[in-house]
Amino acid sequence: MDLAVLREDMVDGLEAAPKNVLTDETVSVAMRDVSRHAFLDDERTAYADREHEALGTRVLSPSTAARLLQALALEDDETVLIVGVGVGYTAAVAAEIVGETNVHAVDISRPLVVEARRNLAAAGYDGVLVDCRDGANGLPEYAPFDRILLEAAVVDPPRALREQLAEGGRLVFPRGTQRQRLAVISAAGELEQLDPITLEPLLVEGEQSGAVERNRMAREDRERAQRRAESRRGWEQDWIEWDETLGAQSRRPRTR
């Protein structure tokens, strides 16, 4: 079994597939260079265009990975943040295009972070930084990023990710819940919706594999409350602030 031949056949099949699955030459060349079998246990099926399961997560099929990477429109030397690194394959293809030290990735699952680091090192991309943290918070220490890929579905991308997008940058994500479309949002807030896609929803703390509590709405509720608080204007807000000031003064100890 010649794995290099299987890899070539995989890319050839994506290029010949209907609906323009793979038309970007840059992504095509990168996928021909990345050893996908380094990221999956079964070498025999690594290059089949299907999903896999690993450590409680769904490993994207090659065609889905190609669609996400094409939407990013990567160019050499751009900085990239991948939220939801999984087993690391998408990060490796991105590293092949922009350079491994320009790729940063996060995942909320510690076992996946360990696995992604091991896989990336085995495939020759140990310069990719992979950190364990809530993807909704991004990676502010290394921001801004020219490109951000969110490999999980949301109705709207988390505010922190949008704030970490560089001027002229692109944030790619699956938009929606049950019915999703691949979407691209610019740093200026312009939204473009592409073809249908289906990915798992973005997890928050407590939802990762092995956790007890599952409450997907926690982050969304917190962000909505913050937006409501920031949007309050007019005499109502002035009255609330005045009332709070009076309350604080009434509790202040008197001096003689």
pLDDT in tens, 132-156: 999 999 999 999 999 999 999 999 9
* pLDDT of 220 over the 90 cut: no
Residue 61 designated active-site? yes
Average pLDDT rounded to a whole number, residues 203-213: 50
* Residue type at position 60: L
Mean pLDDT of 53-63: 90
pLDDT band at 19 (very low <50, low <70, confident <90, very high): confident
Q: Which of 204, 193, 199 is nearest to 178 (CA)?
A: 199
pLDDT at 251: 55
Q: What share of the chain in percent tops pLDDT 70?
A: 79
CB 71 within 8 A of CB 184: yes
Query: Does residue 255 surpass a pLDDT of 60?
Result: no
pTM of the model: 0.80
Q: Which residues pair with 192 in a beta bridge?
A: 184
Mean of the per-residue pLDDT values for the chain? 86
- Contact predicate 146/72, CB 8 Å: no
> Annotated catalytic residue: which of 61, 63, 186, 250?
61
Residue 249 scores a pLDDT above 90: no
**Mean pLDDT lowest for which of 77-86, 179-188, 194-203, 222-231?**
222-231
> How far is the C-alpha of 204 from the C-alpha of 154, rounded, in Å?
12
The residue ranking higher by pLDDT, 28 or 234, is: 28
Distance of alpha carbon 214 from its chain centroid, rounded?
20
Query: What is the chain's percent helix, strand, coil content, to nearest 5?
Result: 45, 20, 35
More confident residue, 241 or 33: 33
pLDDT band at 234 (very low <50, low <70, confident <90, very high): low
Q: How confident is the model at residue 171 (pLDDT cuts 50, 70, 90)?
A: very high
Q: Is the pLDDT of residue 102 over 80?
A: yes
CATH class of 3-196: alpha beta
Q: Is pLDDT at 43 greater than 70 in this prediction?
A: yes
> Would you list the domain boundaries of the chain?
3-196
Taking only the tens place, the pLDDT of each residue in 65-101 is: 999 999 999 999 999 999 999 999 999 999 999 999 9
